[in-house]
Amino acid sequence: MHNAAFAAVGIAATYTARDVAPAALAAAAADLRRDGVLGANVSVPHKQAITKLVDRMTPEATALGAVNTVVNEGGQLVGSNTDGAGFVSGLLELAPEFRSGGFRTLVLGAGGAARAVVWALVALGGDVVIVNRDESRAADLLAGLVAAGLPSGKAKVGALDDVEPDLVVNSTSVGMEGGKAPADLPLLTRAHLERFAPSVVVSDLVYRPAVTPLLAAAAALGLRHQNGVAMLVGQGALAFQAWTNVTAPVGVMRSAVEEALAADLHRA
């Protein structure tokens, strides 16, 4: 999507993927300081480790303790985290009413993606209940966010029956290709979706496959829903803008992602 975006706006740059072993991360970070390098994205398992190798971080990256985007500013590396804001940008395209805040969210999972999503949703004005099979992990996630400045009382660890949500977000790998693939939905069942209001919005951060068990159930019930492409493109657009100071061609980027996913499916 980034190469498509560079071409669309006429920037002579190339985005390439590098497989970096943990032991080689420091050398890879040093390489980003070179003239002509705009920056990089950072993926698992390096999002925490890279925080020690940049010169400064944005407030959100500091709060989350993770960096997914690095910008080279004249040899100084700035670490940011566009995951949460990218999720919100995609969500608001589907459900603009959340822009005014006051909504209730059920977040499934307690990993890095959940951390970014909870932070961003509270910043948007929502209240969040975090549900995870291992409640201690969810408690650790919440404690870390509160210590980083999350307003007290805006999020809590709970159970599926603790909230009548306006929004459900699956941040687990359940349903992902190569991940856990139980016959049932992640943590909740179709009966839960049936009990929720017909206006509830369902978001699954998984994008391979495009239709997960959760999204299939949401579609069957006529609920508004979206997969992880929205977050992938949203965070990518923000990274693009950070590197170039140019407004990202979001439509071009989304088309490139969808074409690539369709090609992967065809090859499979």
Q: Cite the active site residues.
A: 47
User: Which stretches of 132-215 are assigned E, i.e. beta strand?
Assistant: 155-157, 167-170, 201-204
Residue 172 contacts by C-beta under 8 Å, 6 or more apart in sequence?
108, 109, 111, 180, 186, 187
Strand order of the sheet with strand 76-80? 39-41, 69-73, 76-80, 56-57
Is 155 within 8 Å of 136 (Cβ atoms)? Answer: no
* Distance of alpha carbon 30 from alpha carbon 27, whole angstroms: 5
Pairing of strands 56-57, 76-80: parallel
Q: Name 80's bridge partners.
A: 69
Q: Is the alpha carbon torsion for 267, 234, 122, 191 positive or negative?
A: negative
**Phi/psi of residue 133, nearest 5 degrees:** -60, -40
Helices 83-94 and 229-244, axial angle in degrees (round to 10): 120
